[in-house]
């Protein structure tokens, strides 16, 4: 439920009012996502990560998800154009992805890894915020494991005319990546405009054993936003972000066709968001900040599934179209003499149109003759609607204790419109089985607290419920799956939302030199949607084991997250983070899927005086993946080479008992300002990734035979 996210749509951190700074005291880090309004990060009970623009520019990531690599509590299985973050053992449809507060998740999202997070222009990212743990009170369905909010670059008002921009270009040796971007901005006290465009040409990446092909893609896109402030405190903003990726290759099953043509291929992925919002500040004691917004989001994809038989080469082309529009309103007000009580409330509505069509091009190998037809079997078209209303309250029972409570009500409506051609003949279901007119209601709540034991030491606790409403993928996806020929799915229209409750407690320290946190959590999961055996079906003359989704499981995930950063002096900083996660399906007494191994990173950073030169040595590491879910035993990501499909006698699992070995990967990053004159400058950044060309694989990277080997990335940015 995309809603409120959008409310975020408005304020940027730069726009947030900055508190007064005492001599020698550091300004607080402000976050928006956790509270839906700008707030000091230290006052948020939930665990949060903030990835600032400087960090993003230094990291020189190929995709947005890669920007979260080395962040505490975030496991990133980066795979070429794909890659999905894992937070507290949850990924895919159990995380909420936002762009400027607009929800990317929709009624068509599926479980497991998905590329949604990477379908935006890489140089448009100005900042990221991550909320680890349930965020359903703030953002509704799917926010069981956490929330990731990407903020685009934007212009801010200035007292006098301010014009500038930058040009950026970089090259990566491992995958012959060329990235070029340009950003411009112009502002005065009434108007603020910013826009940018970037292009990426990314080739096949190379592991220590050679090229991993096909893994290439091409991407181009940009952003633009125009803000108008007719009167101080009243801002209208029109913004757009969009991206198009073409030639998106998938390594999985790429060697199953005798002619060498990969099975999975995406000729086109196009995604964009248009948003109009209005923000009014300081309207009186009943409103410190009022936000009203509306948006339209579009997504189009062409996907090919190409299969060679003894006599034919069949190419099934799926054309997916998703259109979403939404509106919302949010108000924030503070009360009391010290302004320590804050009330935030609002409501949102969104409407989604989801549709898809298929075409089969079948070529007879002996003659080369091609025929076109419309094959049977596809998820039916339909709509997905969500309405919600929410409220949160911050207050201080006494001076050192800050409490946060919140609640949300959400109503979801899924309505499908199946046609006879949506049904695969003989697959064990009919058109009526694909007809769904479902309503789900969910109420979630949270209670959190921050206790300031000393000026630099806090104790925090939070209890929050979460849920995930079923999607078209859960209810109506039927037929043989893309990545396995062992099972077939039947439609399941009687399932209900998944639910969770998360308990977390932790300690934080924040001095001028030392910043650290230690958090332990327990997430209880109920009504989990899992596949259960439902006999056999015969499809095109082949007998398959049939499965059907149901709310048939419960389980838990527990873990510990540790992060530490210490300034040895004004030049040197050491840092470390470590994350441990454990998950269990209690109903089946097996491990849950997508639970990462023990992992983390540590290193040292040097900053010269006036920040003109810097260098960072970082060690990314992970222990072996020892526990696996039985479903992983047919997951191509656990085979020696995913290009040959699921583990088998000729393509065995990567290690005995399906274990994936641990690794240590060394990265060196450095940069310096070559020239600076007023606001104009030229900076160079050089990254040496995987310095020792270590051969390794990240758990749950389905397309990865091995991760990228040694890579030199050189980037230059001219600011004017």
* Contacts for 110 with CB less than 8 Å, ≥ 6 apart: 92, 93, 471, 473, 477
User: Which CATH number does the domain housing residue 626 bear?
Assistant: 2.40.170.20
pLDDT at position 540: 75
- Would strands 401-417 and 437-454 be described as parallel, antiparallel, or unpaired? antiparallel
Of 655, 684, 652, 649, the residue nearest 670 (C-alpha):
684
Question: How is 49-91 classified by DSSP, letter by letter?
Answer: EEE-HHHHHHHT-SSTGGGGTT-TTEEEE--TT--EEEETTB-
Per-residue pLDDT tens digits for 514-555: 999 999 999 999 999 998 888 888 877 788 888 899 999 999
pLDDT at position 84: 85
- Would strands 542-567 and 487-490 be described as parallel, antiparallel, or unpaired? parallel
**Residues facing residue 347 across a β-bridge:** 329, 389
Q: How many domains does one find in the chain?
A: 1
Coil vs helix vs strand at 134:
coil
pLDDT at position 482: 65
pLDDT at position 7: 35
pLDDT at position 533: 85
422: which 2 tokens? 């949506």
| 225 vs 237: CA distance, rounded Å | 7
Contact 689, 666 (CB under 8 A): no
Per-residue pLDDT tens digits for 574-608: 999 999 999 999 999 999 999 999 999 999 999 99
| 578 vs 596: CA distance, rounded Å | 12
* pTM for this entry: 0.94
Number of helical (H) and strand (E) elements in the chain, helices listed first: 4, 36
Q: Is 4 exposed, middle or buried (0-12, 13-18, 19+ CB in 10 A)?
A: buried
Q: Which residues of the chain have pLDDT under 50?
A: 1-25
Distances (CA, A) of 330 to 239, 375, 557, 602, 647: 19, 46, 33, 40, 51
Contact 422, 379 (CB under 8 A): yes
Distances (CA, A) of 527 to 28, 198, 288, 553, 555: 40, 43, 40, 6, 9
Contact 338, 353 (CB under 8 A): no
Domain interval for residue 243: 5-719
* Contacts for 566 with CB less than 8 Å, ≥ 6 apart: 513, 514, 515, 516, 573, 574, 575
Query: Tokens 């060394």 — which residue?
Result: 666
pLDDT at position 81: 84
């Amino acid at each position: 439920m995309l809603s409120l996210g959008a409310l975020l749509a408005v304020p940027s951190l730069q726009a947030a009012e900055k508190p007064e700074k005492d001599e020698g005291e550091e300004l607080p880090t402000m976050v928006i996502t956790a509270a839906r309004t700008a707030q000091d990060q230290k006052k948020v009970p939930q665990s949060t990560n903030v990835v600032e623009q400087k960090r993003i520019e230094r990291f020189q990531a190929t995709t947005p998800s890669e920007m979260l690599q080395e962040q505490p509590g975030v496991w990133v299985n980066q795979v070429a154009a794909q890659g999905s973050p894992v937070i507290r053992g949850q990924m895919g449809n159990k995380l909420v992805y936002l762009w400027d507060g607009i929800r990317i998740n929709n009624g068509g999202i599926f479980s497991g890894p998905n590329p949604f997070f990477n379908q935006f222009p890489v140089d448009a990212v100005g900042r990221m915020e991550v909320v680890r743990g349930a965020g359903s009170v703030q953002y509704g369905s799917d926010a069981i494991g956490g929330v990731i909010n990407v903020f685009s670059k934007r212009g801010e008002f200035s007292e006098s005319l301010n014009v500038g921009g930058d040009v950026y270009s970089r090259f990566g040796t491992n995958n012959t990546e060329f990235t070029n971007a340009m950003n411009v901005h112009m502002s005065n006290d009434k108007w603020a405009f910013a826009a940018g465009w970037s292009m990426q040409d990314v080739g096949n990446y190379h592991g220590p054993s050679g090229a991993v092909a096909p893994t290439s893609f091409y991407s181009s896109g940009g952003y633009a936003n125009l803000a108008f402030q007719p009167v101080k405190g009243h801002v209208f903003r029109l913004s757009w972000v969009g991206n198009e990726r073409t030639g998106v290759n998938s390594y999985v099953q790429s060697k199953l066709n005798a002619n060498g043509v990969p099975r999975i291929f995406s000729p086109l992925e196009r995604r964009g968001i248009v948003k109009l919002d209005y923000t009014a500040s300081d309207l009186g004691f009943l409103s410190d900040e009022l936000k009203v917004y509306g948006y339209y989001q579009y997504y189009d994809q062409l996907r090919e599934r190409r299969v060679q038989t003894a006599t034919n080469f069949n190419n099934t082309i799926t054309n997916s179209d998703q259109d979403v529009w939404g509106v919302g309103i949010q108000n924030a007000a503070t009360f009391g003499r010290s302004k320590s009580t804050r009330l935030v409330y609002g409501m949102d509505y969104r409407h989604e149109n989801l549709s898809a069509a298929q075409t089969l091009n079948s070529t007879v190998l002996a003659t080369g003759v091609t025929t076109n037809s419309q094959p049977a079997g596809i998820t039916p078209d339909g709509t997905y609607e969500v309405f919600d209303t929410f409220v949160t309250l911050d207050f201080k029972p006494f001076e050192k204790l800050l409490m946060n409570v919140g609640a949300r009500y959400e109503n979801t409506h899924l309505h499908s419109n199946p046609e006879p051609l949506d049904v695969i003949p003989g697959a064990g279901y009919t058109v009526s089985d694909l007809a769904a007119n479902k309503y789900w209601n969910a109420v979630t709540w949270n209670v959190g607290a921050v206790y300031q034991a000393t000026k630099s030491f806090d104790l925090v606790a939070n209890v929050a419920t979460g849920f995930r409403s079923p999607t078209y993928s859960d209810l109506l996806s039927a037929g043989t799956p893309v990545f396995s020929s062992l099972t077939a799915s039947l439609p399941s229209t009687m399932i209900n939302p998944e639910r969770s409750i998360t308990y977390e407690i932790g300690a934080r320290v924040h001095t001028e030199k030392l910043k650290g946190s230690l958090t332990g959590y327990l997430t209880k999961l109920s009504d989990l949607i899992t596949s259960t055996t439902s006999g056999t079906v015969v499809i095109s003359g082949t007998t398959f084991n049939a499965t059907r989704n149901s709310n048939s499981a419960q389980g838990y995930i527990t873990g510990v997250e540790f992060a530490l950063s210490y300034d040895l002096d004004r030049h040197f900083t050491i840092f470390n983070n470590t994350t441990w996660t454990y998950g269990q399906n209690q109903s089946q007494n097996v491990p849950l899927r997508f639970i990462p191994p023990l992992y983390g990173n540590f290193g040292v950073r040097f900053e010269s005086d006036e920040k003109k030169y810097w260098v960072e040595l970082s060690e990314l590491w992970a222990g072996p993946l020892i526990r696996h879910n039985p479903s992983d035993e047919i997951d191509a990501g656990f085979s020696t080479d995913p290009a040959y499909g699921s583990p088998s006698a000729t393509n065995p699992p990567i290690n005995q008992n399906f274990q994936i070995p641990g690794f240590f990967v060394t990265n060196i990053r450095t940069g310096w300002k070559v020239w600076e004159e007023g606001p104009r400058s030229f900076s160079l950044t050089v990254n040496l990734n995987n310095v020792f060309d270590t051969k390794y694989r990240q758990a749950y990277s389905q397309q990865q035979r091995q991760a990228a080997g040694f890579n030199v990335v050189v980037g230059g940015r001219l600011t004017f």
